[in-house]
Amino acid sequence: MKTSTLLLALFALPLSVFAADITGSWKSEFDSQIGLQKYTFTFKQDGANLTGKANSEAGDRKREAELKDGKVEGDVVSFVEMMNFQENEIRITYTGKLSADANEIKFTREVGEIAKEEIVAKREQTAFAASSPAAKALRIKAGKDSPLTDSSGKVWLAEQGFEGGATVEHDPAVAITGTKTPELFQSEHYSMDAFSCKIPNGSYVAKLYFAETYDGITGPGERVFSFNVQGHEFKDFDVWVKAGGPNRAYIETVPVEVTNQVFRIGFTSKVENPQINAIEIFPQSGVDISAAVPTQAATAVAATEPVAATPVVAEPAPTGPAATPVLQIDAGKVTGQVSPGFFGLMTEEINFSYEGGLYGELIRNRSFKADAIVPSVQADTYEAGKYLPVSYRPDTKPRFWTAVGGALLVLDASNPLNEFLNVSLRLEAASATAAAPAGIANGGYWGIPIKPKTTYTVSFFAKAAAGFTGPVTVSIESADGKTCFASVAIKGLTTEWRRFEAKLKTRNVPASKDNVFKLTTQTPGTLWLQNVSLFPPTYKNRPNGNRADIMELLAAMKPKFLRLPGGNYVEGNAFNQRFNWKETIGPVEQRPGHPSCWGYWSTDGMGLLEYAEWCEDLEMEPVLAVFAGYCLGGGGHVEAGPKLEPYVQEALEEIEYLTGDARTTRWGARRAHDGHPKPFPLHYIEVGNEDWFDRSGSHEGRFTQFFDAIKAKYPHLKVISSVGHEQRESIWVKSRLPDLVDEHFYRNQQDMEANFHQYDHRSRAADQSKVFVGEWATRVGSPTPNMAGALGDAAWMCGLERNADVVLMECFAPLFVNVSQLTGNGRSMQWESDLIGYDALNSYGSPSYHVETMFAQNCGADILPIQAEGIPVIEQTPPAGRRGGAPAPRRVSALYYSATRDAKSGVIFLKVVNVEGKAQQINIQLNGATRIDPKGQAVVLSANSPSDTNAINDRDKLVPHTETVNGLSASFTREFPPYSFTILKLRTK
Ligand code: AHR
């Protein structure tokens, strides 16, 4: 026998053995030598073994006999009935064949050597079996919201019992081979954490149906996952490999024992999400489970969830749909400690985050470099560290500046301020008088904001052609020129470059933003200007600092870290366009600036030191992403080895700049010279950003080189790989163990909620990397997320918080958006669904911002287990995703939850998210708490509609409120409003 045939035979045996179960009652009537005989066979099948009884009647004679030597081998059934006849034991042998629908057995019945007849035994029909030809099995069709009768007549229940994940239907035109029932493979559930259902204890055979139908999977190894069926582990399961290619059916058959009345399959993603098309469970006893999980009951089972980081415990029996859901907190047990790195911030120069955002500068294009011609320099011609000046087209009028009076403006590369700001604005005022001044105006970032009784600092570099004596006047005026809010005349211009500074103070005027900054002369002449700057008062009065209102929003978030300086911004579109930290330090007029990869010029006024001072002001730590020799898209990369070494050194120096001693290290001394002698705390370094985009295969080597160098010089630093384990395993870092891996998720609300359990099964083993969810967002709502987004965020964050012992850090992204011009050329938004929105004057937190803030302000270090029961399930139709088509509606939990406790104060923070549009009563049970204060607090964010939101003109529509809660005890019931996120603060000391 050829090996392949042998293997086939070996596999074929258990498959056919378990193909049907004849356990139950069978009837047969037949004519014989002694007249009509009526038989009832009661079969009990246990695998291939068959036992049971034969009860028979012939005339008025009744007999009962035990069956002997019973066997079921595939569809062949055989046994012996012993009969005592005239003191002799006679063997009646039955050898039969089971029909295809498993309801009929045709036997050859031999009574010793006396008689031989052909008889038919028929399965006794139960109510269910009568309507379903192959009775007793439970059949679930994944991805279908209504029952399906397959082409062989079997009825499959609509999908139910899944935890997490999503469903998808495939194009029915794509043929599925290797099956007679292709319709079973045309929809699936994917990305789930588990499937479970309630069935009686006993022996079962489960058949799991798989097919790889996603066109994004193009070969073996691209979808690998593990699953565990009642203790039977299927590790690194590859549907493609199992089925022998795409669109091919594969059925895995597993004999299992159920001992706690729950049948459960746990799924773990390895490379890509798990998927399954159908599940069939055959009882090996007489029990009928075909209707054991009616939709509603299954719903409750599906939502009975084990808690993060705790072993799955036997679940309490589910209550019916009408029963009050229960959240049972075990205060006597701590399943983990919330990492001190929860929660953080992440942003970059995107959406006018700094320029026109957090960075205080009000003048747009202050250095006149927005028109610079910047080539894209590739790695092989780029000399790391070498400054490359940019050039300008002749006769260019600088962007964002306009002429006042009859002035002429032009970029002048032959009168630069210095080699970095290697251009200036030449202002020619051929005629200028007091009544008709000439000069320049700047409208800022969609307006120059003014507030009452506020002092603004103007500064600029200027020189004049011989003969010009000035003065020049700087002012803030309304855009229509009718109101001057503040102005000051500045004297002293000469033919040499000089820096000027003045204060502009407003009176008690109303706040406004449709204003302009002007610099004018009342006498004719020619001037050159550079670094024309206007600053409002900044947060904590830092020179070159940040906008106070936005910093205050951030301060309320109590962030623990800032991931900086990107995102894509760290990489840039080319080697000379990356965030080159050494060109972002020192006096601002010596920073050349560079084009942001998000399409506009960055002055780098927000440089490395400003980032660190931003951290200092909010008492958070930098998480420093270093440039790792890889640029975005066609920007290229440097292979590991000597050519990468200069970038590794740059990174080490960058670390030294932030942390080095001011007296004993070169870059520490430079930091002190730049104004900050005290080193900054730093514990985490990320190597690059999203290096999984690097298809060259260079990532592993580059990471290794950075990792080794950083660990050698700074062994205490934790090194983060920017290739997270949400990516396919083949590209994970293997040569070293990254301390953390950075995983990014931008998803719709449904997917966020469906992934509530994502990290429950993440390995906590010492030889596994921890997780940094360094970018994530529920992308619903624009420019900032609406309540639907906030609910998705809250559900997802509950999942992160429950696993905050392995997910050490998390940060929403992006953080900021300037909402002044959402569309069109030169728009202020490059990326939708950002946490905080603002224009020149005002800023606001989105509902998602409030969710983040509520989490950060209400979190203890102890993670407490919660047992949930009877959680209601709702049907959602997710928007079409990357897999296209019309996604099928799916059932997901309506409630999400997490509990932590501050050990010192004994306060338990119970977070509950109700994503449904109706209020929900929940019975909260608190076990293991010695004392429960009857009075507590609730912080609640809720909305009338998921599309409700905050906006620049309606900034506080949705804000959390705090209320006192009475009657708290070891068991109490509370109503959670529709579309709400609630934090209950329960005092237990
Ligand atoms: O957050 C927006 C962008 O998304 C980041 O720059 C990048 O890292 C990710 O692709």
pLDDT tens per residue across span 819-863: 999 999 999 999 999 999 999 999 999 999 999 999 999 999 999
Tell me, what's the pLDDT at 371?
97
| pLDDT band per the 50, 70, 90 thresholds, residue 7 | very low
Shortest CA distance to 41 belongs to which of 123, 127, 128?
Answer: 123
Report whether 317 contacts 410 (CB < 8 A): no
CB atoms within 10 A of CB 52: 21
Q: How far is CA 622 from CA 39, 603, 684, 804, 941, in A?
A: 82, 21, 8, 19, 30
pLDDT over 70 at 701, yes or no? yes
- Tokens found for residue 221: 């190894």
Region 182-205: what's the mean pLDDT? Answer: 86
Return the ligand 1 atom nearest residue 597 CA. 6
Q: How far is CA 14 from CA 18, 20, 296, 837, in A?
A: 6, 11, 34, 62
Question: In residues, how long is the chain?
Answer: 989
CA angle, corner 497, sides to 495 and 500, nearest 5?
Answer: 110
- Measuring from atom 8 of ligand 1, which residue has the nearest CA? 567
Shortest CA distance to 657 belongs to which of 709, 721, 613, 688?
Answer: 613
Q: Ligand 1 centre and the CA of 627: distance in Å? A: 15
Rounded distance between C-alpha atoms, residue 123 and residue 28, angstroms: 9
Lowest mean pLDDT among 175-179, 352-356, 436-440: 175-179
User: Who's near 278: CB < 8 A, 6+ residues apart?
Assistant: 139, 140, 141, 142, 156, 184, 185, 208, 209
Q: Give the rounded percent of residues in the chain with a pLDDT score beyond 90.
A: 71
Tell me, what's the pLDDT at 17?
30
Return the ligand 1 atom nearest residue 566 CA. 6
- Measuring from atom 7 of ligand 1, which residue has the nearest CA? 567
Q: How far is CA 240 from CA 180, 217, 248, 362, 509, in A?
A: 19, 9, 8, 57, 70
Tell me, what's the pLDDT at 414?
97
pLDDT digit string (tens) for 465-477?
999 988 999 999 9
Q: Ligand 1 centre and the CA of 718: distance in Å? A: 22
- Tokens found for residue 141: 């069709």
CA atoms 482, 488, 494, 499: torsion sign: negative
Q: Ligand 1 centre and the CA of 827: distance in Å? A: 18
pLDDT mean across residues, the chain:
90
Report whether 361 contacts 549 (CB < 8 A): no
Tell me, what's the pLDDT at 536?
98
**What residue ranges line ligand 1, CB within 6 angstroms?**
348, 566-568, 689-690, 775, 813-814, 831
Residue 65 per-residue DSSP state: E
Return the ligand 1 atom nearest residue 777 CA. 1
Lowest mean pLDDT among 261-275, 277-291, 565-579, 639-653: 277-291
Return the ligand 1 atom nearest residue 813 CA. 1
Tell me, what's the pLDDT at 293?
47
User: Who's near 572: CB < 8 A, 6+ residues apart?
Assistant: 578, 579, 594, 597, 631, 632, 635
Lowest mean pLDDT among 91-100, 338-347, 795-804: 91-100
Lowest mean pLDDT among 46-50, 393-397, 813-817, 927-931: 46-50
Return the ligand 1 atom nearest residue 689 CA. 8
Residue in 570, 775, 776 to alter for ligand 1 test, most ligand atoms within 8 A of Cβ: 775
- Measuring from atom 5 of ligand 1, which residue has the nearest CA? 567
Residue in 349, 568, 817 to alter for ligand 1 test, most ligand atoms within 8 A of Cβ: 568
Tell me, what's the pLDDT at 125?
64
Rounded distance between C-alpha atoms, residue 774 and residue 764, angstroms: 19
| pLDDT band per the 50, 70, 90 thresholds, residue 291 | low
Q: Distance of alpha carbon 208 from its chain centroid, rounded?
A: 28
pLDDT over 70 at 19, yes or no? no
User: Who's near 66: CB < 8 A, 6+ residues apart?
Assistant: 51, 52, 53, 82
Rounded distance between C-alpha atoms, residue 798 and residue 807, angstroms: 12
147-183: b or e for each residue (b if 16 or more CB lie within 10 Å)?
ebebeeebbbbbbbbbbbbbbbbbeeeeebeebebbb
Lowest mean pLDDT among 236-240, 271-275, 497-501, 982-986: 271-275
Query: Are β-strands 498-505 and 455-464 bridged in parallel, bridged antiparallel, or unpaired?
Result: antiparallel
DSSP β-bridge partners for residue 985: 909, 937
Rounded distance between C-alpha atoms, residue 326 and residue 140, angstroms: 26
375-390: b or e for each residue (b if 16 or more CB lie within 10 Å)?
ebbbbeebebeeeeeb
Region 148-176: what's the mean pLDDT? Answer: 82
Cis peptide before 221 (omega within 30 of 0): no
Q: Ligand 1 centre and the CA of 572: distance in Å? A: 12
The pTM score is 0.73
Return the ligand 1 atom nearest residue 568 CA. 6
Lowest mean pLDDT among 64-78, 157-171, 172-186, 230-244: 157-171
Identify the residue whose tokens are 């950003």: 689
Tell me, what's the pLDDT at 600?
97
Region 638-665: what's the mean pLDDT? Answer: 98
Tell me, what's the pLDDT at 128?
36
User: Who's near 733: CB < 8 A, 6+ residues apart?
Assistant: 699, 700, 703, 704, 721, 723, 741
Q: Ligand 1 centre and the CA of 568: distance in Å? A: 6
Tell me, what's the pLDDT at 20?
64
- Measuring from atom 9 of ligand 1, which residue has the nearest CA? 567
Q: Ligand 1 centre and the CA of 597: distance in Å? A: 11
pLDDT over 70 at 2, yes or no? no
More confident residue, 446 or 46: 446
Rounded distance between C-alpha atoms, residue 799 and residue 31, angstroms: 68
pLDDT over 90 at 167, yes or no? no
Region 965-986: what's the mean pLDDT? Answer: 97
User: Who's near 652: CB < 8 A, 6+ residues apart?
Assistant: 709, 710, 713
Report whether 762 contacts 803 (CB < 8 A): yes
Q: Strand ranges (DSSP E) for 546-631? A: 561-564, 594-595, 601-602, 621-626
Lowest mean pLDDT among 138-142, 640-644, 645-649: 138-142
Rounded distance between C-alpha atoms, residue 427 and residue 532, angstroms: 13
Q: Ligand 1 centre and the CA of 811: distance in Å? A: 12
Tell me, what's the pLDDT at 311?
26
